[in-house]
Amino acid sequence: MIRQKWTRAWCCVFLCIISISLSANPVYSAPVKSATKPGVVAQGALTVTANTAVLMDVATGDVLFDKQAHKRRPPASTTKIMTAILGFELGRSDEVVTVSPKAAAVGEATLHLDPGEKITLYELISGALIRSGNDACVAIAEHIAGTEEQFVELMNRKAFALGAQDTNFENTNGLPRKEHYTTAYDLALMARHGLQIPQFASITRQKETEIHFLEPDVFMDVRNTNKLLWNYSYADGVKTGTTTAAGKCLVASATKEGRQLLVVLLNAPDRFGDAKKVLEWGFANTETVRLANVGQVIAEFPSVTKSVPVFINEPIDVSLSKVERQKLQTRVVWEKTAKLPVRAGERLGRLEVWLGERKLNSVPLISEDEVLGNRSLKRLFSTGKGNERE
């Protein structure tokens, strides 16, 4: 059973890496790390107590606020975001987990698991995200991958596949390790991915719940460590973390008028105050602009005999500061010369989105019609004797 689960885990991560590398959607690709780009507010314009911070639009992945977002920091229990993601992606929620002595022996914040207890994977993930159970994380890892060490390797591969290039996990729960680190930006990428998993999003928005153990048949009341759920009406996730080395950390999401933003704060003495301030600033001062819809004809490709309409097969949304909106521009770039044939569905170029001098996005331009080559055209318009005999 362990071997089967381990094989399934490796296959899932391999497919994830392949799918991301082949994806043409730049929204999900990791941008080149650089200084603050146009449209992103740096720390001077919005002050927070956090050592590092980032504000991201969940729908587009665009960064709206950046304070040393790529600085490596210990993440404490925000590590459990990745543990939960793999728990849901590599296991079934209703699988029954038997707690090992190793998992039961883990200390600090726990679910007080005992060796031999039976509990579903879903309840363990709930305990890890809401109660921040360190023991629950080890139990999840052993169930999915056989050992915590093998599961941690999967965590690192998954993080890299999501674009988190400055992350290295050494355990499943965030207990202090010298080489256990991530960044505010990387955590935002991971949390954004997690929020696309319905069960993950549902659990992290709960203020409190009951954890049901199967053997023995008992219930445990647990309360979410994320106090933002109580003092900010738009809050709907995600995870806290605290250690001496990491300081107070928070990954928090909020949804207002259908728009969801995500803030990450590492080593933030006033993490809940920071989160509310940054999220409110984001809702008030930034917006998401729809530049083109799926299937919208963007331009006409100038082929030899006639122009060919080209369209996009994905929407183009950009999130940015409201004052920067007038700087947005789109540019059509042809990648094919004006020669035949042109096939229906062929990529002929790309539509680029620019904000000032910086390119924000690029999507393929697809041919709507087919235009045949010269030989095909001759056959179409020829009145040869072979056709006359028919």
Tens-place pLDDT, residues 117-158: 999 999 999 999 999 999 999 999 999 999 999 999 999 999
Is 233 among the catalytic positions?
no
pLDDT-derived band at 345, boundaries 50, 70, 90:
very high
pLDDT in tens, 189-230: 999 999 999 999 999 999 999 999 999 999 999 999 999 999
The whole-number pLDDT of residue 40 equals 60
The whole-number pLDDT of residue 385 equals 41
Q: For the chain, what percent of residues have pLDDT higher than 90?
A: 76
Backbone angles phi, psi at 293, to 5 degrees: -100, 160
Is 67 among the catalytic positions?
no
The whole-number pLDDT of residue 371 equals 83
The neighbour count for residue 176, using CB atoms within 10 Å, is: 14
pLDDT in tens, 253-269: 999 999 999 999 999 99
pLDDT-derived band at 36, boundaries 50, 70, 90:
very low
Measured CA to CA, the distance from residue 252 to residue 30 in angstroms comes to: 21
Residue boundaries of the structural domains of the chain: 2-285, 293-375
The whole-number pLDDT of residue 8 equals 52
pTM strictly above 0.85: no
| Furthest-apart CA atoms within the chain: distance in Å | 91
Is 80 among the catalytic positions?
yes
pLDDT-derived band at 341, boundaries 50, 70, 90:
confident
Among candidate residues 77, 253, 319, 321, the one labeled active-site is: 77
Residue 32 above 50 pLDDT? no
Among candidate residues 37, 67, 80, 248, the one labeled active-site is: 80
Query: Which secondary-structure segment (H or E) carries 7?
Result: helix 2-22
Among candidate residues 132, 253, 321, 367, the one labeled active-site is: 132
Residue 164 above 70 pLDDT? yes
Whether 226 contacts 252, CB under 8 Å: yes
CATH number attached to the domain at 2-285: 3.40.710.10
Residue 31 above 90 pLDDT? no
Chain Cα centroid distance, residue 77: 18
Residue 384 above 90 pLDDT? no
CATH number attached to the domain at 293-375: 2.60.410.10
Measured CA to CA, the distance from residue 256 to residue 263 in angstroms comes to: 14
Q: What is the chain's mean pLDDT, rounded?
A: 87
Measured CA to CA, the distance from residue 246 to residue 95 in angstroms comes to: 33
Measured CA to CA, the distance from residue 61 to residue 31 in angstroms comes to: 10
The whole-number pLDDT of residue 312 equals 95
pLDDT in tens, 282-310: 999 999 999 999 999 999 998 777 889 99
The whole-number pLDDT of residue 240 equals 98
